[in-house]
Amino acid sequence: MKQFICTVCPRGCRLSVDENDGYKVYGNSCPRGEQYGKNEATNPVRTLTSTVKITGAALTRCPVRTDKPIPKGLLFEAMEELNRITVSSPLHRGDVIIADLLGTGANLIATRDL
């Protein structure tokens, strides 16, 4: 059994997922928790939020995030990718900085104007 706290809503149900029984989920109070538990046990994903270096702006780093969650196992590699790049001002919120980050289908976007 794998144990998770469901983060879909503030109630925070304690989930148990039985990987030996078709990823059956216990402890969820609603169907969204069942889906969350299955996803966490089989293919956990996270939205990456971070910053990248920027030149020509009032700040030295620009806040960024992925426009959809990426596999949790790729977060470290994605951070290395972010650490390698430097963007230039002007940037606008929503501008794509890296398209299809690591082939995940998610874009890295700026989250503020700089």
Binding residues (CB under 6 A) for ligand SF4: these are 6, 8-9, 11-13, 28-30, 32-33, 36
- Structure tokens of 54? 């920027």
Question: In angstroms, what is the minimal distance from the CB of 55 to ligand SF4?
Answer: 43
Question: In angstroms, what is the minimal distance from the CB of 34 to ligand SF4?
Answer: 7
Judge if the upstream peptide bond of residue 69 is cis by omega within 30 degrees of 0.
Answer: no
No. of helices (H) and no. of strands (E), the chain: 2, 10
Nearer to ligand SF4, 34 or 98 (CB): 34
Q: Are the CB atoms for 74 and 104 separated by under 8 Å? A: yes
Question: In angstroms, what is the minimal distance from the CB of 23 to ligand SF4?
Answer: 15
